[in-house]
Amino acid sequence: MNLLLKTPSELIAIIKANAYAHGKLGVAKLLADKVDGFGLARLSEAVEIRNANISTPLILLEGFFLHDDLNLLIDYNIQTAIHCDEQIDRLQSGSGSKSVNRLFQLDTGMHRLGFRPEEAIEKFTALANCKVVRKPINIISHFSSADDLTSSQTTKQLAQLTHFLDSIADKTLIGKCSIAATGGGLGAAAIKRIKPLLAKCSIAEQSA
């Protein structure tokens, strides 16, 4: 992926849905020292990976649910996506000396999860003001049609992300950014200015 992107990047292997039926524990053990992190859907999956003595960074792509125990995020050092007001409200009510590792999810056009561009700065500021949230804050979005090199949507989404980053007054709050999934490497020249970059890679697509 680094060769495709032609810029320093970190590779996140997506192993949700039991690594797309390949077996998440086996895949995680195989790739633990070859990737920079694993993406999962649910907290219970991440805890299972940790209990298998795998220390590779873990990301909850769908974030935590309101019934989840936030202490597990801290105790198992699991990074969580933040994509809705309810999650921010839950974090605002948190206290303690330990902090939650987090990703701010921006909806640039996928329209699946994330804060809309017109509300993003307000929500990002609210998240940054949560005492239990670790800074800087990583930022994640997702191309909707990156594998279609004739689509203008990818350029529009990059413009949305760039505008959002430029609009954050305190640049020290900006951590790593992720918008490129496996298909994003096909149009890699367009994203090389986003630094530092996290690239998401789906096990299912790479195993074909």
**Per-residue tokens: 172:** 């020290």
pTM given for the model: 0.85
Q: Angle 117-128/85-92 helices, nearest 10 degrees?
A: 10
CA 28-53-60 angle, to 5 degrees, is: 55
pLDDT tens-digit profile, the chain (208 residues): 444 445 567 888 999 999 999 999 999 999 999 999 999 999 999 999 999 999 999 999 999 998 899 999 999 999 999 999 999 999 998 877 789 999 999 999 999 999 999 999 999 999 999 999 999 999 999 888 877 767 888 889 989 999 999 999 999 999 988 886 655 544 444 444 455 556 566 544 333 3
In our burial notation (b when 16+ CB lie closer than 10 A, e otherwise), range 182-207 reads bbbbbbbebbeebeebbbbbbbeeee
**Per-residue tokens: 127:** 């998240």
